[in-house]
Chains A and B, each alone.
Chain A
Amino acid sequence: PKAHRRYCCLKRPLFSSFPVLPQNHNVVRNPSLYNKPFVESYEETPLLVAVLTYMGYGILTIFGYLRDFMRHWNIEKCSVARERDEQKDFVPLYQDFENFYTRNLYTRIRDNWNRPLCGVPGSKMDIVEQVSHDYNRTFQNTGKIMRDVINMGSYNYLGFAENVGQCADAAIQVTEKYGSGVCGTRCEMGNLDIHQEMEELVARFLGVESALTFGMGFATNSMNIPALAGKGCLILSDELNHASLVLGARLSGSTIRVFKHNNMVSLEKLLRDAIVHGQPRTHRPWKKLLIVVEGIYSMEGSIVRLPEVIALKKRYKAFLYLDEAHSIGALGPNGKGVVDYFGLDPKDVDIMMGTFTKSFGAAGGYIGGKRELIQYLRSHSHSAVYATSMPPPVAQQIITSMTTIMGEDGTSLGADRLRQLSENTTYFRRKLREMGFIIYGNDDSPVVPMMLYMPAKIGAFGREMLKRNIGTVVVGFPATPIIESRARFCVSAAHTRETLDVVRGVRGVSGPLLMLRFSMNPPPPPPPHTHTHTQVGRPGAPGVHHHLSG
C-alpha cells in the first residue's frame, strides 16, 4: 500500500520553451496518509500545440473584428437582437466587448451545446435533430429524431436516470399520492413526511449525525456558505471550485483566498500565513478558517487529496467544507464518495455537501454533519427559510436510489452498479490513453477530460462525434483556461463494454481526422491487475504517439 507513484507535473507555463523541471508540489507528500496509490496525470501541453492554439484564437479574433467592422457599416447583415428604439438613449445594457466572444467565437459552434433530448438521459439518448439557417443564431427542429445516441455527456454515473425499474415505479406512486409541487418552504408549510424520511436516510448513508436537504444543488452551496462564515472569517478555496461555491463564499462577506488546484503546499502556506498574520490591516486573529474543496473536479477529473487536506485541517484547526457533487455515489467501494474512497472517517469532514442530480438521477442537494450544525442550518440557511422545498417525486427518487446503493432493497443491484462504474472507468481511461490522447485527471475518476486544445477542434469534435452517434460534452474558454479546450466524457454504470467500445472505435476515426493524439507519453503497458504507471514523457521517446505532423 505504500507504493505511491510519481505524479506527472501539472500544466507548465505557457510558451515556455525550456524543459520544465517536475513540479514537486504535485507529488504526494505524505504517502503514508493514503491507503492506495493516488495516480493523477496532467501531461503538459506540447509547445507546438500551444503555439497553434494561440494562432487559432488570433485568427478568430481578427476575423471577429473584421466582421464587427462589416456589421458596423452594414456590409454584413446583423442578425443579433437589438435594443428597443424607445430605449436607444439608455445606458447600453451590455458593454460591447462583453459580447465579442459570444458573437464571434461561441456562436460559430453553438450547436454543440443545448442539444435538446426527448427521452431518458440514460446510456443512450434520443436527440431532437436541429438545423440552423441563420448561422447558429436560431435553431429549427427538422422533425427527425436521432435515436440511441451513446450518451457520454450526462452525469449519470450510477445509471439511475431511468424511466422504468424500481426508482421510477416508486416515483410514480409518490406522484400519484403527492402531486409534483409543494407550495411552501421547509420552515413554513413545506416540510413533508417524505422529506424527514429522506434526511434520515441521507444521514445514515453518509455516516453523519444529521442531514438537511435542499431543492437545488447550486443553491445548497450558494445559500449555506453564508450561514457558516461571515465577516472576520477566512475562506480558503481551491482555484477550480465550482461557481456555486465561489458565489456562496462571496455572498458570505468573508475574506476569500484561493490556493492552487489540489496543491497542498499552497494550501498549507495560506493556512500558516492566515494564523500567523491574522486579518489584513487590523491584524486581529481570524474567527475561523474554512477550507472549501470538491470531491471530484468536473472539468479536470481530479480527486481531492482528502487525506492531506484533513491532516492540514486538523493541524491548523480549520473547518472543512467538502462538495461531493460529482463524487457522491461515483467513488468509493460503497459509493459513499471521496471519504469512502480514501477509507476515511466522515466525522473528520465538518460539512459534507453533495448533490442528488448526478449519481442519484434526481435533483437537489444536501448538507450533512454534526447535529448542532444541521440544527443551526435548519434555522439559518437561506434555502430552508425562503425557498420552496424539494418536490416529493424527486425525494422519492433519492430514497429509492440510495437504498439501492446501500443494498437495503435486498438486492445486489447497487453493488453491481458500483462495480460496473469502476470497471468502466478503468477500461475507458486506459483505452483512450493507449490511443495516444491526452487524458487529464485521476485514474479512478469517472469524469474523463480529453484535451482538444485548438478552438476549431471544439466544434469539429462535437459534430464529428454526433455524426457517429455519440454525444459528448465539449468545453472551451471561459470554462477552461484559454488554451485548454477539451472534450469531457462521463462514464456511467449504465454503459456496457460494448457501448464503450463503440466510443473507442469511433475515436479511432476521429483521432486521425482531427489529429488529436497529442500525447508524447509512451502508451501504458497492458495492465490487467496492477495499475499502470504514467511517466512524464520525453519528446522523441520510443513508441511516441505524435500525430500532429501527420
Chain B
Amino acid sequence: KLCICCICLGLYNNKNRKEKRKTKMASGQQWVLVEMVQAFYEAPAYHLILEGILILWIIRLLFSKTYKLQETNKLTEKEKEELIEEWQPDPLVPLVSKDHPSLSYDIVTGPPSHKIIINGKECINFASFNFLGLLDNDRVKQKALTSLKTYGVGTCGPRGFYGTFDVHLELESRLAKFMKTEEAIIYSYGFATIASAIPAYSKRGDIVFVDEAACFSIQKGLQASRSVIKYFKHNDMEDLDRLLKEQQLEDHKNPRKAKVTRRFIVVEGLYMNTADICPLPELVKMKYKYKVRIFLEESLSFGVLGEHGRGVTEHFGVNIDDIDLISANMENAIASIGGFCCGRSFVIDHQRLSGQGYCFSASLPPMLAAAAIEALDIMEEDPDIFTVLREKCTSVYHALQGTSGLKLVGVPLSPSLHLQLERSSGSRDTDQRTLRRIVDYVSLREVALTIARYLEKEERYLPPPTIRVLVTVEQTDEEIQKAVSCIKEAALAVIS
C-alpha cells in the first residue's frame, strides 16, 4: 500500500521539480511556493483530475482494511469450550517402578563417620566423601558448637540483606589465603557453586569448551548460561586443540563477532565420574595459545591433591593466577556444607551481584562456616594429612587392581575410585543389580560401599554403572585389607 503512495508522490514531486527547473530555481524559497501555486493554475484540467483521483485512491488505501479476516477460521466460544473439555494432560509424574533403587534409600543411623550404621548394621565407611576425617573431628565439632551458641542455626536472609556474618567474611579471606588467590566467595550449597558461577560470565553467544566427563553441576551451569557448548573427548588435548582450531578458522571468517565472543574451557581437577586428573599444564598452554579462559572445578581435588591440599594447581605446580576461576565445594574434604569460588578480584567480585546462587539464596549457616574455618586450620597446621591420604589412596588403588570381574577406574592419587564391571551384560539395570549384590555382600561383612548414582536420562555422557570406593585417612591398613579382600570375595561370588 505504502509503495503505491510513494510512487505516486514521487511522480508528483518529479513533475514539480521539472517545472521548477524550467522556471528560475535559484530565486528564493517563497518563489518556489508561488511557482507551485502558479503551476497548479496552469496545469491542464485532465491532469488535475488524474491527480485528484490518485489522492483519493491513496486515502482509500490508507483507510481500508488490508484484507478481510477470514471469520470462518475463528473458533467460537463453544468450540473453545469443547476443546478445553477434551484436552487431557499427561500425569504430573510417571509412576516409578516399585523396584527402582532410589525408592529405598539406605538409612544411616547416627553420623556417617568412620564407623557407620547402615540399615542397622555397623560398617567401616568406604562410602562417604569424608577424605580427611574431619566430619567427626572434635575440634571442628567444638568450633561449630561455639558458633551455634553465638549465632543460632539459620541466617534468615541472603548475603545482601543482613545475611552476611563476620564468620562468612573470615571464611572468605581464609580460603583466599589458603588458595593464595586475591579473593574468594562462598555459596551455601556445593552444587550451586559452579552451576551459578558459569552463567555469571558466559552468556548467550559465548563459547564453552568442556570435557565430556564433566560432572552434573557443570552441565547445569552450562545449560543455564545458554552459551554454545562444545564437548571434547575426556582428557583428550588433541581433540580440544582440534575444536579450538576450528573455532579459530570460524573467527577469521567473522572477526567482528569473534571480538565479543568470550571463550571458556571448563574442566574438573579430579573428575567425579572418571576419577582421573585433568592435564592442567597443557590446558594452560592452550589457554594462552587460543586466548581462552579456564574455569576449574576442584570439588574432589581441593583438600586432596598437592602438598598442602591446594588442589590440582599445586599438584602440577601451575601458577594459580593462570586459572581464571577455581570452584570447589566444602562438602568433601572440608566435611562441611557449601562451596566457594576463588581467583582474582577482577573475576570473583562480579559474582557478588551476578552469581544467582549467591545473590538470591539464604547465606550459609554460620556454624557451617565456622566448621569450615576450623577444617582449614587443621589442614594448614598439619599438611602431613595429605601425605597420609595419598599413601592410603595409592595402597587402596594397588590392592584393588586385579579384582576378578571388576575393572578399577581412576588414578592412584584419587580418593574416589570406581569399580566397573569388566564385562557388561548389555543392560544397565542388570549391571546395576549385579553391582548392588556386591555391595550387599560386602556390607554383610561390615564394609560400607555405595553405587554411584546418576540421572540416567539427564546426563550428557552417562558413565557406566560403578561402585564408588571412597578412601579416607581414618581407614587403617587392616581395614583397607579387609575391605579389599571382601570386595574380591564378593566379586568372585557374585560375578562368576
Contact = CB atoms under 8 A, between A and B. Distances in A.
Interface string A317-355: 111000000000000000000000000000000110001
Contacts of A276: 75, 80, 83-84
Interface stretch (A8-16, A186-194, A420-428, A437-445): A186-194
Given A184-B128, A192-B112, A218-B192, A156 B156 contact: yes
A316 B144 CA distance: 51
B93 A91 contact: no
A32 B100 CA distance: 45
A181 B335 contact: yes
Nearest to B143: A180
A161 to B, nearest CB: 5
Given A84-B344, A251-B223, A393-B367, A373 B92 contact: yes
Contact of A362 (B111, B153, B160, B335): B153
Contact of A172 (B90, B105, B145, B365): B145
Given A187-B105, A216-B361, A180 B162 contact: no
A155 B156 contact: yes
Interface stretch (B59-67, B383-391, B450-458): B450-458
A287 B156 contact: no
A363 B188 contact: yes
Interface string B89-102: 11011111000111
A402 B169 CA distance: 31
B347 interface: yes
B164 A180 contact: no
B103 A394 contact: no
A119 B156 CA distance: 12
Contacts of A73: none
A525 interface: no
A46 to B, nearest CB: 27
A380 interface: yes
B87 A275 contact: yes
B224 interface: yes
B102 A216 contact: no
Given A191-B107, A218-B360, A91 B261 contact: yes
Interface stretch (A21-29, A110-118, A407-415): A110-118
Tell which of A118, A187, A226 has the most Cβ of chain B within 10 Å: A187
B362 A179 contact: no
A91 B262 contact: yes
A387 B191 contact: yes
A535 interface: no
Interface string A114-149: 111111111001001000000000000000000000
Contacts of B453: 185, 187-188, 385
A154 interface: yes
Contacts of A242: 360
A189 B108 contact: yes
Contact of A379 (B102, B111, B345): B102
B92 A153 contact: no
A378 B135 contact: no
Interface residues of A, number: 120
Given A376-B96, A385-B454, A272 B111 contact: no
Tell which of B156, B217, B356, B367 has the most Cβ of chain A within 10 Å: B156
Interface in A490-543: none
A175 B159 CA distance: 24
Tell which of A81, A128, A176 has the most Cβ of chain B within 10 Å: A81
A21 to B, nearest CB: 26
Given A93-B201, A168-B153, A180 B367 contact: yes
* Nearest 5 interchain pairs by C-beta: A379-B102, A216-B189, A218-B361, A376-B93, A357-B362
Interface in A364-380: 372-373, 375-380
15 contacts: A94-B350, A154-B161, A163-B150, A168-B152, A175-B145, A179-B144, A181-B331, A182-B135, A182-B331, A184-B128, A190-B108, A193-B110, A228-B93, A250-B224, A287-B90
Contacts of A114: 159-160, 164, 352
A118 B191 contact: no
B141 A176 contact: yes
Contacts of B141: 175-176, 179-180
Contacts of B129: 183-184
B92 A350 contact: yes
A404 to B, nearest CB: 14
A184 B112 contact: yes
B216 A272 contact: no
A102 B350 CA distance: 10
Contacts of B371: 179-181
Contacts of A351: 92
A83 B215 CA distance: 29
Given A119-B150, A316-B84, A372-B96, A153 B361 contact: no
A391 B90 contact: no
Tell which of B92, B151, B364 has the most Cβ of chain A within 10 Å: B92
Interface in A469-497: 471, 473
Contact of A243 (B336, B356, B454): B356
Contacts of A378: 96, 102-103, 105
A272 B80 contact: yes
Contacts of A393: 144, 148, 153, 365, 367
B308 interface: no
B105 A180 contact: no
A196 interface: yes
Contacts of B94: 376
B144 A180 contact: yes
B353 interface: yes
B156 A161 contact: yes
Nearest to B472: A183
Contacts of A162: 152
A151 interface: yes
A356 interface: yes
Contacts of B336: 180-181, 391
B113 interface: yes
Nearest to B339: A388
B269 to A, nearest CB: 18
Interface in B449-467: 450-455, 458
Nearest to B182: A81
B392 interface: no
B17 interface: no
Contact of B153 (A102, A106, A394): A394
Given A118-B165, A316-B84, A385-B455, A188 B154 contact: no
Contacts of A250: 224
Contacts of B252: none
A188 B140 CA distance: 24
A172 B145 CA distance: 6
B155 A184 contact: no
Tell which of A113, A287, A360 has the most Cβ of chain B within 10 Å: A113
B450 A176 contact: no
B184 interface: no
A93 B107 contact: no
A459 interface: no
A477 to B, nearest CB: 12
A358 interface: yes
A188 B130 CA distance: 13
Nearest to B136: A179
A397 B220 CA distance: 30
A155 B151 CA distance: 15
B363 to A, nearest CB: 9
Interface string A88-104: 01111111000000100
A392 B92 CA distance: 31
Contacts of B90: 287-288
Given A250-B224, A251-B223, A317-B88, A81 B100 contact: no
Contact of B162 (A86, A125, A178, A217): A125
Nearest to A384: B102
A180 B366 CA distance: 11
Interface in B224-238: 224
Given A180-B371, A189-B448, A379-B100, A319 B92 contact: yes
